[in-house]
C-alpha cells in the first residue's frame, strides 16, 4: 500500500480535498495521468481529429436520452406506438428528448463515418495500430446492430416492415436460415416477441458490448500512441520537451491542449445538432421517415421499404446481387483464378489449390440462390474493413505522401459510396440496379485489389518529424 502524501498546513483547501481523494483512490488519478495529462499526442492534429471526441459526445447524448425514453416507453406491440406518441405529446420536454435521440442516431453514424475515413486517408490502421482499427470496426458493426434494433422500437410502418425485410434475409442462409430467422423474431412473424427481444438487446446487452469495445479501442490507442496526418511515429523521434525529458519532442499533453482544442469541434457540432433538432428533426424524411408516424399494420405494406440512410449503401449492395450479377461474379472469379495460375508465383500444388478453390466457389455461386449471396455481399462489405491493415502494401501511411492519383481514387471511392447510399433510398429501377452493381464491384475491387494498386507509383519523401504550422 502506497504511503499517504501529506500537504503543508497552509495549503489551499482545494488542494487538500484533491489530495484526500488521491490518497484514497490513486488508481483513478494514475489513469487520468496516463490517458490525459501525461498522454502525449502529436502536435499536428487537424480538424479530422475532432470526430473521435464527437463520437464520445454523441454516445453520452444517446445514453442519457435513452434512459429518459425508457422511463415512458412500453415494449408491447399493442402499446409501443402509443407510448412514443405519449412521450412526444404529454411528457414534459419528451418531444425534445425523443428528437435528440433520433437525431443522435444519425449524428452518430455521420461522425463515425468521418472518423473512419480519417483513419483510411492517414493510414491509422497500419502497424502498430492494427488492433485499434479492428476494435474500431467491431464498434461500427455493433453500432449497426444497436441502431437496427432501436429502429424497430417506435413500432411504426417503416419500423415494422423494415425489420420484416431484414430479418427475413437470414432465412436465405442455407440449412440454418429459417431456424435462425425464427430465433431472431421469436415468432413466425415480427410481433410482440420480436419487439421484446430487440428492446432487451437495444437497452442492455448491445450497449454493454459497445462500451466494452470503446474502452478497448481507447486503451489500445493509448498503448501504441495516436497517428497523425504525416503518418510519422513521434515515439521514434527525438525525446524531450517542456513537460518531460522522456516525452516525444513532437508530442503535447492531450489535456489541456486537445481537450480545449476539441471544444471548438464540440461547439460547431452542437450548433448544427441543435439546429436539426429544433428546426428539421425529420431531416426531409431521412432521419425520421414519414411512414414511421403511422402505426405498424401487418396487413398494409408501404409502397417502398428502405432502411435508414446509414444502412442504405450496404442495402444497395444487397439489391445489386441478382441472377445476372451472379454470372458476372462467376466470370470475375474464373478470370482471377486464371490470372493467378498464369501470372502468380505459385508452385504446382498452389496452382492446383487455386483451380479447385475457384471451381468449388463457382459451383456454390451457381447452386445457391442469389438472395443468399446478396446477404453475404452486404455483410462482407463491413467485414472486409477488418482486413484493411493487411491489404494495404503502400510504403507510406499518409495520403499526403502517396502518389497524387491515390487522392483521386479515394475521392472516387467516397463518391461511389454516397451514390450507393442514395440508390438504397430510392425505389428499385433498371438504371439504379446497373449503377449499384457497378458501385458494388468498385467497392470490393477497391479493397481486394489494394495489395496491388497500393504499391504502384512513386511515394513522396516522408519527413523524419511531423510538420506543423501554428493555426
Chain segment 278-327, per-residue pLDDT in tens: 999 999 888 988 888 999 998 888 888 888 899 999 999 999 999 889 99
With cut-offs at 50, 70 and 90, classify the pLDDT of residue 23: confident
The three grid cell numbers given for residue 204, joined into one nine-digit string = 442492455
Start-to-end Cα distance in the chain: 46
Percent of the chain with pLDDT over 70: 99
Q: How far apart are CA 58 and CA 104, in angstroms?
A: 6
With cut-offs at 50, 70 and 90, classify the pLDDT of residue 45: very high
Handedness of CA 133, 135, 141, 144 (dihedral sign): negative
With cut-offs at 50, 70 and 90, classify the pLDDT of residue 80: very high
Identify the residue whose cell numbers are 483464378.
337
Q: What is the pLDDT at residue 280?
A: 94
Q: What is the pLDDT at residue 2?
A: 59
Entry field: residues in the chain? 471
With cut-offs at 50, 70 and 90, classify the pLDDT of residue 353: confident
Q: What is the pLDDT at residue 167?
A: 87
Question: What number is the average pLDDT over the span 60-73?
Answer: 96
Question: What number is the average pLDDT over the span 258-267?
Answer: 93
Identify the residue whose cell numbers are 464498434.
139
- Taking 60 as the threshold, does the pLDDT of residue 234 lie above it? yes
With cut-offs at 50, 70 and 90, classify the pLDDT of residue 370: confident
Residues 169, 373: contact at Cβ < 8 Å? no
Query: Which residue numbers belong to the known binding site for a ubiquinone?
Result: 222
Q: Quick count: other Cβ atoms within 10 Å of Cβ 404?
A: 9
pTM for this entry: 0.93
Q: How far apart are CA 107 and CA 273, in angstroms?
A: 8
With cut-offs at 50, 70 and 90, classify the pLDDT of residue 470: low
Question: What number is the average pLDDT over the span 368-394?
Answer: 93
Question: What number is the average pLDDT over the span 376-401?
Answer: 95
**Who's near 48: CB < 8 A, 6+ residues apart?**
114, 118, 121, 122, 229
pLDDT in tens, 392-424: 999 999 999 999 999 999 999 999 999 999 999
Q: How far apart are CA 407 and CA 117, in angstroms?
A: 13
Q: How far apart are CA 74 and CA 70, in angstroms?
A: 8
Q: How far apart are CA 455 and CA 307, in angstroms?
A: 37
- 469 phi and psi, to 5 degrees? -125, 130
Query: Which residue numbers belong to the known binding site for heme b?
Result: 101, 115, 202, 217
Q: What is the pLDDT at residue 380?
A: 95
DSSP letter (8 states) at residue 90: T
**Who's near 434: CB < 8 A, 6+ residues apart?**
none
Q: What is the pLDDT at residue 22?
A: 86
Q: What is the pLDDT at residue 310?
A: 93
Question: What number is the average pLDDT over the span 40-59?
Answer: 94
Question: What number is the average pLDDT over the span 265-274?
Answer: 96
DSSP string, 289-307: -GGGGSB--TT---S----
Among 130, 171, 45, 139, residue whose Cα is nearest residue 382: 139
Q: How far apart are CA 325 and CA 182, in angstroms?
A: 29
Query: Which residue numbers belong to the known binding site?
Result: 101, 115, 202, 217, 222
Domains within the chain, CATH numbers bracketed: 31-293 (1.20.810.10), 309-453 (1.20.810.10)
Among 379, 330, 369, 362, residue whose Cα is nearest residue 174: 369
Q: How far is CA 346 from CA 342, 414, 452, in A?
A: 9, 35, 17
Amino acid at each position: 500500500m502506497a504511503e499517504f502524501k501529506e500537504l503543508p498546513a497552509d495549503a489551499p483547501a482545494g488542494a487538500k480535498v484533491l489530495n484526500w481523494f488521491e490518497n484514497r483512490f490513486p488508481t483513478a488519478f494514475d489513469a487520468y495521468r496516463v490517458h490525459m495529462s501525461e498522454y502525449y499526442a502529436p502536435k499536428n492534429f487537424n480538424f479530422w481529429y475532432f470526430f473521435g471526441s464527437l463520437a464520445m459526445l454523441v454516445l453520452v447524448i444517446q445514453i442519457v436520452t435513452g434512459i429518459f425514453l425508457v422511463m415512458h416507453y412500453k415494449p408491447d406491440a399493442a402499446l409501443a406506438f402509443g407510448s412514443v406518441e405519449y412521450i412526444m405529446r404529454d411528457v414534459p420536454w419528451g418531444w425534445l428528448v425523443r428528437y435528440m435521440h433520433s437525431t443522435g442516431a444519425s449524428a452518430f453514424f455521420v461522425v463515425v463515418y468521418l472518423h473512419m475515413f480519417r483513419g483510411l486517408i492517414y493510414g491509422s490502421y497500419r502497424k502498430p495500430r492494427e488492433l485499434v482499427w479492428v476494435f474500431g470496426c467491431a464498434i461500427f458493426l455493433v453500432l449497426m446492430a444497436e441502431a437496427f434494433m432501436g429502429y424497430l422500437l417506435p413500432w411504426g410502418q417503416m419500423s415494422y416492415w423494415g425489420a420484416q425485410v431484414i430479418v427475413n434475409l437470414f432465412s436465405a442462409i442455407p440449412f440454418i436460415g429459417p431456424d435462425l430467422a425464427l430465433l431472431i423474431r421469436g415468432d413466425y412473424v415480427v410481433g410482440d416477441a420480436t419487439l421484446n427481444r430487440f428492446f432487451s438487446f437495444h437497452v442492455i446487452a448491445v450497449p454493454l458490448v459497445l462500451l466494452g469495445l470503446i474502452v478497448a479501442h481507447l486503451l489500445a490507442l493509448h498503448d501504441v500512441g495516436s497517428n497523425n496526418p504525416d503518418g510519422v511515429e513521434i515515439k521514434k523521434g527525438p525525446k524531450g520537451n517542456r513537460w518531460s525529458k522522456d516525452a516525444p519532442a513532437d508530442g503535447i499533453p492531450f489535456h489541456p491542449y486537445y481537450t480545449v482544442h476539441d471544444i471548438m469541434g464540440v461547439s460547431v457540432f452542437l450548433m448544427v445538432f441543435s439546429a436539426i433538432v429544433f428546426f428539421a428533426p425529420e431531416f426531409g424524411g431521412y432521419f425520421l421517415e414519414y411512414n414511421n408516424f403511422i402505426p405498424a399494420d401487418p396487413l398494409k405494406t408501404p409502397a417502398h421499404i428502405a432502411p435508414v440512410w446509414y444502412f442504405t449503401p450496404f442495402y444497395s449492395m444487397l439489391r445489386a446481387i441478382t441472377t445476372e450479377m451472379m454470372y458476372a461474379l462467376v466470370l470475375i472469379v474464373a478470370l482471377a483464378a486464371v490470372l493467378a495460375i498464369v501470372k502468380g508465383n505459385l508452385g504446382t500444388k498452389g496452382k492446383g489449390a487455386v483451380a479447385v478453390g475457384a471451381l468449388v466457389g463457382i459451383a456454390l455461386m451457381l447452386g445457391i440462390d442469389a438472395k443468399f449471396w446478396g446477404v453475404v455481399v452486404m455483410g462482407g462489405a463491413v467485414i472486409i474493413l477488418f482486413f484493411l491493415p493487411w491489404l494495404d502494401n503502400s510504403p507510406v501511411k499518409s495520403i499526403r505522401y502517396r502518389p497524387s492519383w491515390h487522392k483521386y481514387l479515394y475521392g472516387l471511392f467516397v463518391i461511389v459510396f454516397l451514390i450507393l447510399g442514395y440508390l438504397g433510398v430510392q425505389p428499385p429501377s433498371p438504371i439504379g440496379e446497373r449503377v449499384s452493381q457497378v458501385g458494388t464491384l468498385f467497392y470490393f475491387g477497391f479493397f481486394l485489389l489494394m495489395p496491388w494498386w497500393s504499391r504502384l507509383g512513386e511515394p513522396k519523401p516522408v519527413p523524419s518529424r511531423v510538420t506543423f504550422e501554428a493555426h
